[in-house]
Structure 1
C-alpha cells in the first residue's frame, strides 16, 4: 500500500509548512507534493458548509483513498513517505482514523505558544480579507458561535492551541515512542539540531539537512475603509465561489487577496494587554500539557519581549516590532 510512514500532525501556524519543505530535501524521505491533503479529517467528502472561504478549502481535500495513495506512488523504493496536515492533532476523529489505517505511523508534533499561535492564525485570515472581526481578542470570543455554525477548524483560534487535551487523547491511541514533540522555537532558534532530532526519530541519516525555508511574513493591513471594502468583496466572492469549479472560484478571489496584501505592514506583535486577555483561555490546558508531557510550559503564561523571548517583569509596550531574525511559519 502506498500509505505514509509518518505524518506531521500539528499544530497550524507552528512551522509545519517550512518543516515539510525542509524534510522534502532529504534524499531518504519522500514528502507528498500536496503539502496538506487532509485525508484523515473525514470519512468521505468534506462538509458543504462553513465560514468565509471554507468552501474553497474543502475543495482541496484529498478524501478518496485512491487519490491519497497516489500522492505516494512516485516515492523511490526504500524512502520514507510522509505528509503534513497540521489539523490531525486537533481532530480526535482524525487521530482515530490514523490509528486504524496506519497503527505504526510515526507522528511529529510542533507546539507553539498558544497565544502567539492564535494571533498568527487570526492575522492570516484577517490579511486575506476573510476574518470580519478586526481584533484577535474579540475574534476569539466568537469561537463558540463559529464552531456551532460549522466553520472549519482553522477558525478555532483557541481550541487549536489546547495541546494538553489533544496530546492526552493521542497518547491513548499511540505509544509515546511513536510521537516526537518539540517546540516551534526549537525549529526557529536551532534548526540544524532540531532537524537532526527529527531524522533520528525517523531513522534516516542525520546531518543532510540543516535549515528551514525563511518565512514569508503575513502582511497586516490596517482596518481602513479600503480594507473593509475589499474584505467584504472577498467574503462575497468566497460565498459565490462555493458553487463554482476550483480554478474558476479562485479567479474571483486571488486578485482581491493580492490587493489586500498591498502596502500591508508585517504582522505586529501582540500587546501585553491582549496577551493578558487571552492567557486565561489556555491556563488550565497548559497545566494539563505539563502533566501529560512532564515538561515545563510556564513561560507561555508570562509576557514576551519584542523578539519573542521572555520578559523578566515589565510587560512590553504596544507597537514594539520584532527583530529581524528569520522565522518559519
Structure 2
C-alpha cells in the first residue's frame, strides 16, 4: 500500500489549510480528503481518558491504524506524489521521530507565522468554538503549564506551539536540510503564486499550475453576552461527555448550539500592544535560535508594535 512522499508538518493557524486546499488542485499531487489524519501523533490508539475540552472527541478522529492510513492514499492515480497535512507534526518531537522511522526520505514543509499572532489566533479559534473558558488571551497563555500537566492536547499549547527554533533544531537532527522547506505565512498570503511555485519545485512537480490559495474560512466570532457565556459552558460540558456518544449524536447536540452562539457576530478581538508585550518574552530566545538554525532573519517578530494579524 502507498505511503506519503511529502508532509505539511506545521504549524497550526499558519495557513496550512490554505496550502492544502491549493495543493489538492495540482494534477501531479494527491492529498486525501481527510486534511489532518494525525497518524504520526501516537503509537497505537491516542489517549482517550484525559485532555481539555473537546480533546477526547478529536482523539477519536485520529487515523492511527496503519492500514487505515495507507487506505487514504489508495485512490491516487499512479505516478502522482502523495502527501498529507497535519500541522502538529513539527511541534511533536516523537511524531518527528516516527516520521523518520517510516518515511526517512519524505519531503517536509513547515509554514511559520509570527508566534504571538499564531498564539492569539489559536486562542481566538477555541474561544469562538465555545471550548476556551478563559476570555483573556494573556491569562490563557499563563495557564498553559497547568493545562499541559493535565494532558490537554497540542492545540491548547499556545506558547509551546510557537517555539519553532526548538522544533526545527530537533527536526534537522533527523532529516537533511534539503528535505525540509521552511516558509512564512505572510509569503503565502501576500505572494501566493511565487510561494506555491516554490512548494511545487521543492516537491518536484510542475510550477505555474496553481496560482492562488482559496479564501480562508473565517470562523464567526460570537458576541460577548450572558446567554453566550451560558452556551459556552454547555458546549464545554458536552465536550467532556461527548466521547460516550456516536458522532451523529454529538453533531446533533453541538451544531444547533453553535448556530445559536454565532447568531450575533461580535467584533473579533485584536491583539493589543500590551498583550503582545506580555507574551513576546516567551519567544525571544527561541526566535534567536530559529535565526541560527535557519540562517534567516525573523527580527520583525521582535517588535512589540508588530502586528500581522489577518482574519483566519
Displacement of 1:265 in angstroms is: 3.2
Structure 1 position 7, deviation (Å): 0.3
Aligned to 2:187: 186
Task: Name 1:211's counterpart in structure 2.
Answer: 212
SS of residue in 2 equivalent to 1:180: strand
Deviation of 1:277 (Å): 0.5
Who is 1:242 aligned against?
243
Question: Which residue is equivalent to 2:27?
Answer: 27
SS in structure 1 at match of 2:141: helix
Distance 1:104 1:257 in 2: 43
Deviation at 1:223, TM superposition (A): 2.9
Q: What's the counterpart of residue 314 of structure 1?
A: none
Alignment correspondent of 1:317: none
Matches of 2:70 and 2:311, distance apart in 1:
29
Aligned match of 2:36: 36
TM-score (norm 1): 0.92
Shift of 1:215: 1.7
8 Å CA contact retained: 1:15, 1:328 = no
Give 1:196 shift. Answer: 0.1
Aligned length: 311
Structure 1 residue aligned with 2:56: 55
Deviation of the 1:304 alpha carbon: 4.4
Aligned twin of 1:264: 265
Confirm whether residue 175 of structure 1 aligns to residue 176 of structure 2. Answer: yes
Question: Could you report, residue by residue, the CA deviation over 1:292-318 in whole angstroms, capped at 9, with x for unpaired residues?
Answer: 111111111114467x3xxxxxxxxxx
Displacement after TM superposition at 1:244 (Å): 1.0
Superposed, 1:1-329 pairs within 5 Å as 1-48=1-48, 49-265=50-266, 267-304=268-305, 308=308, 329=312
Q: Give the secondary structure class of the aligned counterpart of 1:279.
A: helix
Q: Determine the C-alpha separation between the residues in 1 that align with 2:250 and 2:311.
A: 29
- Per the normalisation by structure 2, the TM-score is 0.97
Give the Cα–Cα distance (whole angstroms) in 2 for the partners of residues 219 and 303 of structure 1: 27
The CA distance in 2 between the partners of 1:231 and 1:273, in whole Å, is 27
Between 255-264 and 62-71, the greater mean CA deviation after superposition: 255-264
Deviations 1:225-274 (A, max 9, x none): 11210000101111121111222222221211222222223533201011
C-alpha distance in structure 2 between counterparts of 1:186 and 1:123, whole Å: 22
CA contact (8 A) 1:95 1:170 kept: yes
3-state SS in 2 of match to 1:19: helix
Superposed CA RMSD: 1.3
Q: Partners in 1 of 2:266 and 2:187 — Cα distance?
A: 26
Structure 1 position 130, deviation (Å): 0.3
Residues 223, 262 of structure 2: 8 Å contact kept: no
- 1:328 Cα offset (Å): 7.5
Report which stretch shifted further, 136-145 or 247-256. 247-256
Give the structure 2 partner of residue 319 of structure 1.
Answer: none
* Alpha-carbon contact 2:122-2:158 (below 8 Å) kept: yes
Instruction: Give the Cα–Cα distance (whole angstroms) in 1 for the partners of residues 245 and 99 of structure 2.
Output: 31
What's the secondary structure of 1:220's corresponding residue?
Answer: coil
- Superposition misfits of 4+ residues, deviation over 4 angstroms: none
